[in-house]
Chain A
Amino acid sequence: MPTPRKSRDKVRATGAAPRSRPALTMQDLYRAVDAARPRIGHPVFVRYTRLGREDAGALVALLARMVADAQAWIGRPPERLWANGSARRGQVCVTVQFQSGATALVGYAAPGDGLDLLILGNHGSMTYDSGIGFSGDTPLPYTLAEPADPRLQAAITRSLESGEPQPLAPS
């Protein structure tokens, strides 16, 4: 029988339930990215893909939130976007051009679970592998306190309907 570690004994002594794995959230990812971001120089490109099982009706709002995430990582407002694909079919990729000239590919694909993130800076890169198709890493739950930006939602919807890039007026 393995010898119990001291820390585990201590937890038991306080009556708290031992947890084999702490639950991570998107807030943990945001915090880690924000802390690491200065090391890659100026962020110039974000590849941000979410695999999920969302209803088609919820996709545009989800993508708008993801574009807002990319905006936060790039640090400049988006200037133009093009949404390619079909919310009904669960496959959408949004190309975003920011005012600084930085770009992003923000995508949603179904079915699946996971999040894939690559941020390129002019001095380096950071990647987050959620374990899509690799190991048993638990996907992060996509929980955000902020509602989706209606301006971004409207632009994504217009682009999906028209098949053309949409300018974004300064907010």
Chain B
Amino acid sequence: MPRLPYGVLLVSGSHTHQEDYAAAFAADPRCRLVAVTDEAGIDRRRAALNRRLAKQLGLPYLTDFGEALGRKDVQIVSICAPPERRGRIAVRCAQAGKHLYLDKSLAPRLEEVDALVAAVEAAGVRSQMFSFITQPWAAHARQLVAEGRLGQLRAIHADVFFAKGRTGTADLGSPRREAYPPARHQLMQAKRELDNVGVYPITLIHWLTGRKFRSVHAITANYFFREHQQQDVEDFGLLSGTLEGGMVVSIAAGRYGWTTHPASGINRMLLVGSRRSVVVDAHRPRLEMHTDEAPWTPPPVHPRDPMAFWSSTQQESGVRRKQTWVPLWPAASDVSYFLDCLGAGRESEMSVFPAAHAAEVLLAAYRSASEGRVVTLPLAREQIEPRRTRPLRPS
């Protein structure tokens, strides 16, 4: 067990969720930020954004990734590299004996997911993927289930949408054709929203029930944003399926625009029990405010982040907080929970193991959306040749 504070190495910088994760680590007295780093061979834009966050945080930017991983004063690596690079980076960090704090979703390819799980197991390090399970309303849902107040849980129907971006620009006359395996997950203009948002209800359902998904039928679509359509990534996804034991679940997820919701977006689950059913809503209970303050209006479109993915670009655009609904549930820190787990020497409930299942469900969903059929899980593992990692430039 390392002596406190934990040293935290940040992989990737500005214009990723590292902006938020680094702030959360920095705010916790159990941590000390050490440096920002990234793989060799990244493009100039990414390198500049990495340097930018390092400068903002007063940290060195280490261009030698291997050397950064070898530092003795690093115990945790917070990984926000784009999905296509995330898996292999996380494997190297685990192999270096570092605990992993990971952006979601885990990785877009099954072999990368399996390799990461194997690496974490072999190294005996702790891991956590960002999720909603640490939020108080999620804990409330779990308590309802655990205490048997709903009777036996029979079905879950969940909807999660992010209310950001300027909606109404997609061409509805061009229905989406999904491709499998999915490529291009995270671009400057758009992300795959079934993956980006759908990972939350998938992980919540698995965590609440303790059951894995066994079948999935999914559809992806472009309903709201020209940006997503132009980049050939979906802004909407739905998924219906069954868990172990036959429990019926359904999910609708995506991004639907600033003005489509009075707060950050719908985020709710209908839990159907044998005795009673309840809706658990992240926005309930709440205060509702109506005043003579200037009404909320959407911010101007940021040219380098039209969907307002990142905290820094939201600040630059002058995004105002919506204040009609005042939440009563206090926001919880996902990072704090991870540090609690490390301190107690226990596994996070959103370690790479459940996170890997979520990644597999997402892959099954994309396959279903592409082929128009029901896909059963676990997915077949193809004969995997000895792993070929992309050669890195000598550092």
Residues of B contacting A107 in the complex (Cβ-Cβ under 8 angstroms): 155, 157, 250
Residues of A contacting B341 in the complex (Cβ-Cβ under 8 angstroms): none
Looking at the assembled complex, report how far the CB atom of B280 sits from the nearest CB atom of chain A, in whole angstroms: 8
Q: Mark B202-241, 1 if CB is under 8 A from A, else 0.
A: 0000000000000101010101100000000000101011
Measured in the bound complex, the distance between the Cα atoms of B224 and A116 in whole Å is 23
Looking at the assembled complex, report how far the CB atom of A84 sits from the nearest CB atom of chain B, in whole angstroms: 5
Tell whether A112 pairs with B240 under 8 Å between CB atoms, given A44-B223, A105-B250, A120-B223. no
B272 is contacted by which of A45, A86, A105, A109 (Cβ under 8 Å)? A109
Whether B279 contacts A82 by the Cβ 8 Å rule is no
Residues of A contacting B159 in the complex (Cβ-Cβ under 8 angstroms): 47, 118
Tell whether A105 pairs with B175 under 8 Å between CB atoms, given A123-B168, A165-B374. no
Further pairs besides A45-B252, A85-B155: 4, Cβ < 8 Å: A89-B154, A114-B277, A118-B252, A165-B373
Closest 4 CB pairs of A and B: A133-B278, A101-B175, A44-B223, A109-B272
A-side interface residues toward B, CB under 8 Å? 41-42, 44-45, 47, 49, 51, 80, 82, 84-86, 89-93, 95, 97, 100-103, 105, 107, 109-112, 114, 116, 118, 120, 122-125, 127, 129, 132-134, 163-165
6 of the cross-chain contacts (CB-CB < 8 Å) are A89-B246, A105-B250, A120-B223, A124-B167, A129-B279, A133-B278
B-side interface residues toward A, CB under 8 Å? 154-155, 157, 159, 161, 167-168, 170, 172, 175-176, 215, 217, 219, 221, 223-224, 236, 238, 240-242, 246-248, 250, 252, 256-257, 259-261, 266, 270, 272, 274-279, 284, 372-374
Whether B272 contacts A164 by the Cβ 8 Å rule is no
B172 is contacted by which of A49, A86, A122 (Cβ under 8 Å)? A122
Residues of B contacting A47 in the complex (Cβ-Cβ under 8 angstroms): 157, 159, 252
Looking at the assembled complex, report how far the CB atom of A131 sits from the nearest CB atom of chain B, in whole angstroms: 9
Measured in the bound complex, the distance between the Cα atoms of B175 and A100 in whole Å is 8
Whether A82 contacts B217 by the Cβ 8 Å rule is yes
Whether B172 contacts A103 by the Cβ 8 Å rule is no
Tell whether A95 pairs with B260 under 8 Å between CB atoms, given A82-B374, A132-B270. no
Number of A-B contacts (CB under 8 A): 134
Measured in the bound complex, the distance between the Cα atoms of B261 and A165 in whole Å is 32
Tell whether A84 pairs with B154 under 8 Å between CB atoms, given A112-B272, A164-B373. no
Whether A105 contacts B240 by the Cβ 8 Å rule is yes
Looking at the assembled complex, report how far the CB atom of A103 sits from the nearest CB atom of chain B, in whole angstroms: 5
Measured in the bound complex, the distance between the Cα atoms of B395 and A34 in whole Å is 63
Residues of A contacting B242 in the complex (Cβ-Cβ under 8 angstroms): 84-85
Residues of A contacting B236 in the complex (Cβ-Cβ under 8 angstroms): 44-45
Residues of B contacting A49 in the complex (Cβ-Cβ under 8 angstroms): 157, 270
Whether B276 contacts A133 by the Cβ 8 Å rule is yes
Whether A51 contacts B277 by the Cβ 8 Å rule is yes
Measured in the bound complex, the distance between the Cα atoms of B270 and A109 in whole Å is 10
When C-beta atoms are compared, the residue in chain B nearest to A85 turns out to be B248
Residues of A contacting B260 in the complex (Cβ-Cβ under 8 angstroms): 120, 124-125
Measured in the bound complex, the distance between the Cα atoms of B219 and A165 in whole Å is 12
When C-beta atoms are compared, the residue in chain A nearest to B225 turns out to be A122
Whether A163 contacts B256 by the Cβ 8 Å rule is no
